Amino acid sequence: MWFSFAGFYLGTAISVVTGLQNGVGLTPVMGWMTWQRYRCNVDCVNDPDNCISANLVKTHADRLVSLGLATLGYTYVNIDSCWSSMSRDVSGNLVANETRFPGGIREVADYVHSKGLKLGLYSNMGPKMGDGSPGLNCNSSNCEQARRDINTMVSWGIDSLKVDGDFGADSIAMNESYPTVGGYLATASNRTGRPVVFECSWPAYTARQYPVQYRLMSKHCNMWRNYHDIQDNVDSLWDIANYWATTFDSREGRATGLPLVEFRNTGPGHFNDPDMLLIGQTPCPHSCQPPECPRGMHCGNLTEAEERTQFALWSIWASPLLMSNDLRTIPQHSVELLSNAEVIRVNQDRLGRQGKRVAYSAEFNTEIWSRDLDNGDVAIVARNVGKTSAVRITVPLWLCGFTNATQVDLRDILNHNNLGVHSVEYSLLVDPHDVAMFRVSVQN
Sign of CA dihedral 236, 231, 412, 243: positive
Asked if 354 and 347 touch (Cβ cutoff 8 Å), the reply is: no
d(CA 209, CA 132): 26
Asked if 120 and 31 touch (Cβ cutoff 8 Å), the reply is: yes
**Which residues have CB under 8 Å from 144's CB, separation 6+?**
none
What distance lies between CA 206 and its chain's CA centroid? Answer: 19
**Which residues have CB under 8 Å from 5's CB, separation 6+?**
358, 359, 399
Walk along the chain (444 residues) and give the pLDDT tens digit of each residue: 434 333 333 333 333 333 357 889 999 999 999 999 999 999 999 899 999 999 999 999 999 999 999 999 999 999 999 999 999 999 999 999 999 999 999 999 999 999 999 999 999 999 999 999 999 999 887 899 999 999 999 999 999 999 999 888 988 899 899 999 999 999 999 999 999 999 999 888 886 666 777 788 888 999 999 889 999 999 999 999 998 888 754 333 333 334 454 566 789 999 999 999 999 999 887 655 554 454 567 888 899 999 999 999 999 999 999 999 999 999 999 999 999 999 999 999 999 999 989 999 999 999 999 999 999 999 999 999 999 999 999 999 988 888 887 899 999 999 999 999 999 899 999 999 999 999 999 987
Q: Nearest-CA neighbor of 323 among 77, 50, 149? A: 77
3-state secondary structure the chain: CCCEECCCCCCCCCCCCCCCCCCCCCCCCEEEECHHHHCCCCCCCCCCCCCCCHHHHHHHHHHHHHCCCHHHCCCEEECCCCCECCCCCCCCCCCECCCCCCCHHHHHHHHHHHCCCEEEEEEECCCECCCCCECCCCCCCCCHHHHHHHHHHHHCCCCEEEEECCCCCCHHHHHHHHHHHHHHHHHHHHHHCCCCEEEECHHHHHCCCCCCCHHHHHHHCCEEECCCCCCCCHHHHHHHHHHHHHHHCHHHHHHHCCCCHHHHCCECCEEEECCCECCCCCCCCCCCCCCCCCCCCCCCCCCHHHHHHHHHHHHHCCCCEEECCCCCCCCHHHHHHHCCHHHHHHHCCCCCCCCEEEEEECCCCEEEEEEECCCCCEEEEEEECCCCCCEEEEEEHHHHCCCCCCCEEEEECCCCEEEEEECCEEEEEECCCCEEEEEEEECC
Q: Give the relative orientation of helices 234-248 and 304-316 as an angle to the nearest 10 degrees.
A: 30
Look at residue 281 in the predicted model and tell me its pLDDT.
93
Look at residue 287 in the predicted model and tell me its pLDDT.
57
Bridge partners for 78 per DSSP: 33, 120
Bridge partners for 382 per DSSP: 368, 436
Q: What residues are annotated to the active site?
A: 164, 229
What distance lies between CA 301 and its chain's CA centroid? Answer: 18
Look at residue 20 in the predicted model and tell me its pLDDT.
59
d(CA 237, CA 145): 37
CA distances, 96 to each of 107, 124, 396 (Å): 11, 15, 55
d(CA 195, CA 190): 7
Look at residue 207 in the predicted model and tell me its pLDDT.
66
Look at residue 248 in the predicted model and tell me its pLDDT.
56
Look at residue 13 in the predicted model and tell me its pLDDT.
34
